[in-house]
Amino acid sequence: MCVGTLSSLVRTRALVLLGAPGGGKGTISKHILKWSGKQAHFQGDNARSRLSHLSIGDVLRSNVERGTPLGQQVGELMKTGALVNDSLILNCLSDEVMRLKAEKFQDVGESSAKAKEEQEKHMHYLLLDGFPRTVPQAEFLVSPEVGIVDAQDSSSQLAVQLDVPVEEIVERISSRWIHRPTGRTYNLQYNPPRAWSAERDPKDGLVDDETGEPLERRPDDEPEVVDARLRTYVENQQPLLEFFTSQDRLIRFSGSTFPDLVGQGKRSDAIVQEMLVNERLNNFWGVL
């Protein structure tokens, strides 16, 4: 089926996750995906969950690793902690959204007689992790000409800001290790790999639980790059929050209504608990 047909049959709603690098966007995305998979199961929709997770940072890293033209263009810049320019990001976003939509809804539209009925039924939910990072990116997402989200639908987009203290973020990033081939992430404080004990130097042979292969730091998790990423975040975040506030599309979570979890170093879990009981967020998910 051609991409244009798919766009007209499947509408899209986007949940935008905003917050500092290392502030738990990835962890919270995993919780939301798990939850949506369960919902799909309970509704007898085993074949698919209607939610796709998209981290532009992951897409860029994968391009850098594969040495694609995009990867070659952005690799050096990403090592500095600066943002990639908007036009590259917006192309990348449009391509990825189309790909994800086609992947989730490949069977839609095959019986054109039922097209109208299908349109009512099919809603693609996008969980955008790390996008937008600038106001022009945010404007792009809601622009009717671009058509990523359904401009007619007043609930087509909601932004969630994760408020996490900077000291906690720095500590979290400094103990983050990844298994590069799968992207599995460990934190030496909260979920260390099984074969590691606190007495050992982290650089000394950390291995992945599943494959036994060595773990690495993300190159942009090195301390000087983290400083630059946090500075970039602080510069861009306020205008972005103002943009979403002016549209009445922003909800903020800090986990502080679950002080016990925060005290145990489980802020992301506390934030997830807050999200689960948030009425506005629950309305946003609608039929999911």
Stretch that binds ligand AMP, among 46-54, 108-116, 128-136, 199-207 (CB under 6 A): 128-136
Smallest Cα–Cα separation from 138: which of 213, 250, 61?
250
Decide if residue 133 touches ligand AMP (CB under 6 A): yes
* Contacts of ligand AMP in 214-243 (CB under 6 A): 220, 229
Decide if residue 57 touches ligand AMP (CB under 6 A): yes
Decide if residue 84 touches ligand AMP (CB under 6 A): yes
Q: How many residues bind ligand AMP (CB under 6 A)?
A: 17
Q: Which is nearer to ligand AMP, 89 or 148 (CB)?
A: 89
Alpha carbon separation from 238 to 17, 18, 111, 134, 217 (Å, rounded): 15, 11, 47, 10, 29
CB 14 within 8 A of CB 160: no
Near ligand AMP by CB under 6 A: residue from 81, 109, 193, 255: 81
* Contacts of ligand AMP in 91-110 (CB under 6 A): none
Q: Which is nearer to ligand AMP, 133 or 249 (CB)?
A: 133
Residue closest to ligand AMP when measured from CB atoms: 57
Binding mask 180-219 for ligand AMP (x = CB under 6 A): ----------------------------------------
Rounded to the nearest whole angstrom, what is the least distance from the CB of residue 17 to ligand AMP in the complex? 10
Stretch that binds ligand AMP, among 83-91, 155-163, 200-208, 259-267 (CB under 6 A): 83-91
Near ligand AMP by CB under 6 A: residue from 28, 36, 109, 131: 131
* Contacts of ligand AMP in 17-56 (CB under 6 A): 21, 55-56
3-class SS string, 125-177: EEEEECCCCCHHHHHHHHCCCCCCCCCCCCCCEEEEEECCCHHHHHHHHHCEE
Binding residues (CB under 6 A) for ligand AMP: these are 21, 55-57, 60, 78, 81, 83-84, 89, 130-133, 137, 220, 229
